[in-house]
Structure 1
Amino acid sequence: MKNVSICGSQLQHLMPFPNIVQAMQIEGVDVFCGLIHTEDPQFDVNAPENIQKVLVKKRAFSCNYRDKNLILKTAVNAPKDCFYTVGSDFVGEVVAVGAEVSEFQVGDRVIGNNSYPDSGVVGLLPGVPTNNASKEYQSFHQAKLLKIPPKMSDESAAAFSIGGQTAYSMIRKLNIQPGANVLVTAAKSNTSLFAINALKQYKVNLYATSTSMRFAQELKDMGVKQLIRVNQEDDDWLASAQMREVYDETGGFNYIIDPFFDLHLGKVISLFVPRAGGKYITCGFYDQYSQFTGKEFQYYGLPCNQILVNMMVNNIHLIGNCVGTTEDLQRAIQDCANGNFSVAIDSVFQGDRIKEFFERTYNAKDRFGKVIYRYE
């Protein structure tokens, strides 16, 4: 079995299989990554622990922002003779099913179901099925998987679950009305790209922010009316001449979708239509790994009391979101199959190009979309 892994520095010399371990840096931290070979797992379909489970052989996987914390934590803290498999999105093929599995059969292509806050099964934890999606073989409870249609490519499917489920959940909670002004922050982040692609089906005026104008045309092609360049060190984005111009022309935003509340909430709270009851929704935060890099996170934005006063005076709804329901993911899959929703794919890697996969995922400034590793 193959495992794309974060490795201890001495691992290559200690394991009996022919492994590939390469050195790189992420956020200034030395990271060893590799393709590690282990024995294939045994799966007894009649064993009590497996009767509701499905054995999946991965075809491809990808990493998300949440994986960066786990990668750096492993690089800093793990013993030199260990390895840690990574990844939280995947596509695979069912190769065995437990005796009481009713939803799947051998040969089905599947992706992870991150349903939250309810897994749908008493006693089964909700949320992401695995932090180890790069394991070539892995077993899951059948409730933690969903079948995908033939029209969905392996590359799209390997990047799909968390972004699709999250984007569709946020848009459902916002209940966006036609003709509204919608702002998506951090336009080139994966979550924002999912949200932008999902919003193409809505008759809204879609705007996005970024710290650079790179990929402005690509974002316009995805439905963004205008990409607004902002400065992360501003406390209020109305200080941006371009943002001020858009704000004066539109009268402000009705909805704001933000993947990083600690970067942006204090900067965007003044951008809503005054006294109109706008909605702000967030699904994550940026400062997830500074404890491993030694680089202290610096907050820029209005202080908490000004944020809350602005919310009260303007009747702003502040909404939190953690992935989504099974129905959210099913809608995203159906829209993808029907050609109404797509995944931005940056690049695909195979074979021993492990270092290149991680470099592209976390270090490439010109990355646009998800980076996929595909098993040969």
Structure 2
Amino acid sequence: MKAWQIAQPIGPQGLKLMEIPTPTPGPGEVLVRVRAVSLNYRDLGTSRRERPGNLPLPFTLGSDCAGEVAALGAGVTQWKEGDRVIPAFFQNWPAGGMTQTIMRSALGGALQGVLAEYMIARADALVHLPATLDFSAGATLPCAGVTAWNALVGQGQMLAGQTVLTLGTGGVSIFALQFAKAHGARVIITSSSDEKLARARELGADEGINYKTTPDWERRVFELTQKSGADQIIELGGAGTLQKSLDAVRYGGRISLIGVLTGFEGLVNPWPVIARSVTLQGIYVGSRAHFEQMNRAIVQNNIQPVLDRTFAFEEAPAAFEHMAAGAHFGKIVVSGS
């Protein structure tokens, strides 16, 4: 089978289309024919060696895909060939809280990724592709969708009428916007592009803040919330934006720290966490139970993931370059071969 791999992590230009053996599912495993893969910033960081961890080179990138069951390993009875499925990001997280063992089961991280014609998944780490979605839409869910859902609903216990602030217009932020609106929340979103803010408003965003023209956007959040602050903040910037988020959250509010788009290093004054009794929660995707809950909500509310652009399988390096440019709105997808 064909797979996009890196032998040396030097960025998208280091991706090579390789011919490798098609894997055979073992007991309790399923062979999935990959129909679509969606990219995450994590994948770009992996190709550049920007994130911690040891890669077992050569390495197949990607964690998020949707496809069809192609073959069953011994003892697998809950699936049949032809079923439309999505592998969970963490292959060993059925429910409950995060553990070290779970962290060692991430596709495209501790485990080989999915940017290939076929991949092996644990039978108990698959979910049904919602009937309302095609393969490309389904491929966007495992990381970005589940992360936003876990932050707002799984951990955040979102309530109607809350105000949610989400940073940027990438995959997690747009899912957060869609899920928050489905729960009856008010959404404030930031971007460096007025055009992207206009598109976010079309999806239901109540307020948009251009952080280039309004660098003190945390003050604007206070103005828009009658000086009370946001109930929940989806924090994707990391060290470069966390202090502003701490200044924009309400007393007793919650910040879900998800991304590190501004880098891994920086100084943050922790006093607002204490003084405002803020819950600062690290979110790293979520469990299969979160995934299944989210899928029920997607079907019930007829939510369609927002796709920025779809690339052919042979164009995978161009898809990574497109992500590196940072101009996308929503998710970038590579179709199956």
For the aligned pair, the TM-score class normalised by the smaller chain equals 0.7 to 0.9
Shift of 1:91: 0.9
Matched, 1:129 2:104: no
Matched, 1:277 2:261: no
Amino acid at match of 2:285: V
- The SS at the match of 2:194 is coil
Matched, 1:181 2:163: yes
Q: Partners in 1 of 2:95 and 2:279 — Cα distance?
A: 28
Q: Partners in 2 of 1:104 and 1:130 — Cα distance?
A: 23
- Contact 1:129 1:140 (8 Å CA) reproduced: no
- Contact 1:113 1:161 (8 Å CA) reproduced: yes
Q: Partners in 1 of 2:143 and 2:213 — Cα distance?
A: 26
Amino acid at match of 1:184: T
- The SS at the match of 1:214 is helix
**Range with greater deviation from structure 2 (51-60 or 317-326):** 317-326
Amino acid at match of 2:323: T
Given candidates 61, 67, 74, the residue that maps to 1:92 is 67
**After superposition, what is the alpha-carbon deviation per residue over 1:274-297, rounded to whole angstroms, capped at 9, x for unaligned?**
xx3112111232356xxxxxxxx7
Matched, 1:38 2:20: yes
Given candidates 308, 313, 325, the residue that maps to 2:270 is 308
Amino acid at match of 1:256: I
> Where does 1:165-314 land on structure 2 (aligned, <5 Å)?
165-172=146-153, 173-186=155-168, 188-231=169-212, 237-238=217-218, 242-243=220-221, 245-247=223-225, 249=226, 251-273=228-250, 276-286=251-261, 299=266, 304=268, 307-314=269-276
- Contact 1:116 1:322 (8 Å CA) reproduced: no
**After superposition, what is the alpha-carbon deviation per residue over 1:136-158, rounded to whole angstroms, capped at 9, x for unaligned?**
12222212221223322011111
Matched, 1:153 2:134: yes
Percent identity at matched positions? Answer: 23
Gap regions ≥5 residues in structure 2: none
Q: Partners in 2 of 1:125 and 1:316 — Cα distance?
A: 27
Q: Partners in 2 of 1:123 and 1:101 — Cα distance?
A: 26
- Contact 1:190 1:369 (8 Å CA) reproduced: yes
Q: CA RMSD in A?
A: 3.1
- Contact 2:221 2:229 (8 Å CA) reproduced: no
Amino acid at match of 1:59: R
- The SS at the match of 1:353 is helix
- The SS at the match of 1:355 is helix
Give the count of matched residue pairs. 325
Looking at CA atoms only, which structure, 1 or 2, has the larger radius of gyration? 1
Matched, 1:104 2:56: no
Shift of 1:63: 1.8
Matched, 1:345 2:307: yes
Structure 2 length-normalised TM: 0.85
Gap regions ≥5 residues in structure 1: 10-24, 289-296
Q: Partners in 2 of 1:325 and 1:298 — Cα distance?
A: 28
Shift of 1:332: 1.8
